[in-house]
Amino acid sequence: MLAIEGLQIRYGSRLIVDGVDLQVRAGETFGLVGESGSGKSLTARAAVGLLPRGISATGSITVGGTQLVGAREKVLRGLRGNRVGLLMQDPFAMLNPLRTAGQHIAESLPRARRPEAAARLAEVGIDDPSVLQRYPFQLSGGMRQRIALAAALARDPELLIADEPTTALDATVQDEIMRLLARIQRERGMSVLLITHDLRVAFALCDRLAVMYAGRIVETGPARAVSADPGHPYTAGLLRAVPSIERTVERLAGIPGSVPSASDVRESCAFVSRCEQARQECAEARPPLREVDADRRSACLFPVELQPYTTRDAGRPRSFGPTLLRVTGLRKDYRQVRAVREVSLEVAEGESVGVVGESGSGKTTVARCVLGLVTPSGGRIDLGTGLRHRVVQCVFQDPYTSLNPARSIGATLAEAARQGAPDGRMTPQELLELVGLPPAYTRRRPAGLSGGERQRVAIARALAVRPALLVCDEPVASLDVSVQAHILELLRRVNRELGTSMLFITHDLAVVRQVTDRLIVMLNGQVVESGPTDQVLDSPEHPYTRRLLASSEISVER
């Protein structure tokens, strides 16, 4: 259905994608996985002729035999929507805020078939026809993604390209969208190219997959075979970084370093600078994709020595100090909506407490009340005796919006440090070393850092005043699995070695297992279950907690 051969993508003279070959067969779901910066999304955009201005592609891309590289815009427009549908990560950015759900679906249908909009809505699991009259801002994230999917499928494409379609969704909604995609693909016999950095999603949804790194394919094969026995050290490293929902691991192991530019690794193995088993031969020539088994290929000269997934139970009882934060009967109303209902929780000195739940559960509202960003409608929030509000610091999901783009990292950290006590004040260089970044980064600005590096800077800024309590609101939700492992290990070290208490807000149960001592589960603004993290996740008592766990254990029928 889709054949890509010798694809190169350039931004001016800079090479971004270098010699990609892949094929998506008729009726299969094919995954393209890798870290941010690997070139996978640009590869997908090249497949529908939607590369950003200034970026060009050479090589061959055919869809059903039609050549797209160098094709006229008229040919590409006739292809998009008709033979190829496109589903992106953020449905809100795909949908016109001035058009209703029904208008989005209808405009994608041929004029004579526009009355089918309600039936198309039902196909994506929405049986309420009144949704057709609603605007995007009136819908939840999962509902918006379903509308975007219905619009993408309206002209019955033979190939659907789905670029990170579940990344921004809660576990239960992610599970629903994945099952929906699998069902529709199976019923239609449609081909799907799934772009994702989430290996669990790729292994659950895909028949075959390719692992992409620094603009090239380093491994291909059946999804289940790659999951069980990775043929490239990079794939094994990604697998090892996936947090376990079943047990606490002693050390979260991310891959050291970052993805290099494709231009810088043309004459060597792209992974050589980050590989634990690298040898001299790896730096001397570019290894080809060689056959390692039936329908499997790997661009590694040697057998993989890394174990794909190793864990060791580290769940030892810990002792904590007196209560640092006490929330009693917290309520928050927004007009006629009660977002938080009689929530009570405690965080002791040195303790890490997790708060989990879906979007709309009230967990972020609780965090904002604790931070003083939102005024509660009722209840009490008490900090430990003698503590001032400045000892509570926060780390949000998107570090870029919380860092001043015009200021250097050094200036940002110096300003933060001045807010703390003079005794023992750390320099910007010391703060960067604390979070595992080079001291030279003080001269950089946020735009010059990767997402994971910016999040480390955000954590360094929060630690500059030596806070007693760190409130983390989805701090790793948008990060690649390897970067996520580094950030989680850093936060765990901050908690256990520096004694900083944490209130950790997340929807990811595998993440909360790794970094918290106690767990609070919220639904519809109230606490429905709480207790030691291991106990709640191993023996959940509330049906909602059990549903969250079932959704996190990704498995769909293919």
User: Mean pLDDT, to the nearest integer, of 279-290?
Assistant: 93
The separation between CA 287 and the C-alpha centre of its own chain, rounded to angstroms, equals: 30
Residue 388 has what pLDDT?
Answer: 52
Q: Per-residue DSSP letters for 182-206?
A: HHHHHHHT-EEEEEES-HHHHHHH-
Q: Which two tokens stand for residue 506?
A: 């997340």
Average pLDDT over residues 10-14: 90
Residue 125: per-residue pLDDT: 85
What is the value of pTM for the model shown?
0.86
Nearest alpha carbon to residue 413 among 377, 459, 382: 459
Check residue 476 and give its pLDDT: 86
pLDDT in tens, 333-367: 988 888 999 999 999 999 999 999 988 889 999 99
* Mean pLDDT value across residues 236-253: 88
Instruction: State phi, psi for 326 to the nearest 5 degrees.
Output: -130, 120
pLDDT score, position 258: 81
Yes or no: say if 24 and 193 are a contact pair by the CB < 8 Å rule: yes
Beta strands per DSSP E along 179-309: 191-196, 208-213, 216-222, 290-293, 296-298
Residues 421-458: pLDDT tens digits?
A: 888 789 999 999 888 888 999 999 988 887 778 888 99
Q: How confident is the model at residue 391 (pLDDT cuts 50, 70, 90)?
A: confident
Task: Give the contacts of 294 (CB within 8 A, at least 6 positions apart).
Answer: none
pLDDT value for 521: 97
**Cα–Cα dist 214/47, whole Å:** 18
**Beta bridge mates, 202:** none
What secondary structure letter does DSSP report for 399? H
Provide the pLDDT confidence category of residue 383 given band limits of 50, 70 and 90. confident
Q: Are strands 378-383 and 14-24 parallel, antiparallel or unpaired?
A: unpaired
Question: Confidence band (pLDDT; 50, 70, 90) for 385?
Answer: low
DSSP run (H or E) holding 447: none
Task: Say which amino acid occupies 287.
Answer: P
CA–CA separation, 253 and 413 (whole Å):
27
Do β-strands 2-11 and 55-63 pair in parallel, antiparallel, or remain unpaired?
Answer: antiparallel
pLDDT tens for 56-101 read: 999 999 998 899 998 898 888 888 878 999 888 776 667 888 999 9
Other beta carbons within 10 angstroms of residue 426's beta carbon come to 19
CB 412 within 8 A of CB 400: no
Cα 461 from Cα 411, distance rounded (Å): 11
Measured between alpha carbons, how far is residue 272 from residues 269, 275, 286, 372, 516 in Å?
5, 5, 10, 47, 35
pLDDT tens digits, 160-172: 999 888 776 777 8
pLDDT of residue 556: 55
* CATH architecture entry for 327-552: 3-Layer(aba) Sandwich (3.40)
Position 252 pLDDT exceeds 70: yes
Q: What is the pLDDT of residue 308?
A: 45
Alpha-carbon gap, residue 117 to 166, rounded angstroms: 23
Question: CA 133 to CA 102: how far, in whole Å?
Answer: 6
Give the span between the Cα atoms of 247 and 316, in whole angstroms.
12
**pLDDT per position as a tens digit, 296-313:** 999 999 888 755 444 545
| Residue 86 host element (H or E) | strand 84-87
Q: What is the DSSP string of 309-366?
A: ----B--------SEEEEEEEEEEEETTEEEEEEEEEEEETT-EEEEE--TTSSHHHH
Q: Tell me the average pLDDT across 283-287.
A: 93
What CA–CA distance (Å, rounded) separates 160 from 169?
Answer: 19
pLDDT confidence of residue 541: 96
Share of residues in the chain with pLDDT > 70 (%): 95
d(CA 125, CA 131): 12
Q: Specify burial of residue 160 (Cβ count, 10 A radius: 0-12, 13-18, 19+).
A: buried
What percentage of the chain exceeds 90 in pLDDT? 50
Altogether, the residues listed in the chain come to a count of 558
Q: What is the pLDDT at residue 13?
A: 87
Residue ranges, CATH 3.40.50.300, the chain: 2-83+157-227+288-298, 327-552
- CATH number for the 2-83+157-227+288-298 domain, one of 1.10.260.40, 1.20.1440.230, 3.40.50.300, 3.50.50.60? 3.40.50.300
19-40 pLDDT per residue, tens: 999 999 999 999 999 988 889 9
Structural contact between residues 348 and 321, judged by C-beta atoms closer than 8 angstroms = yes
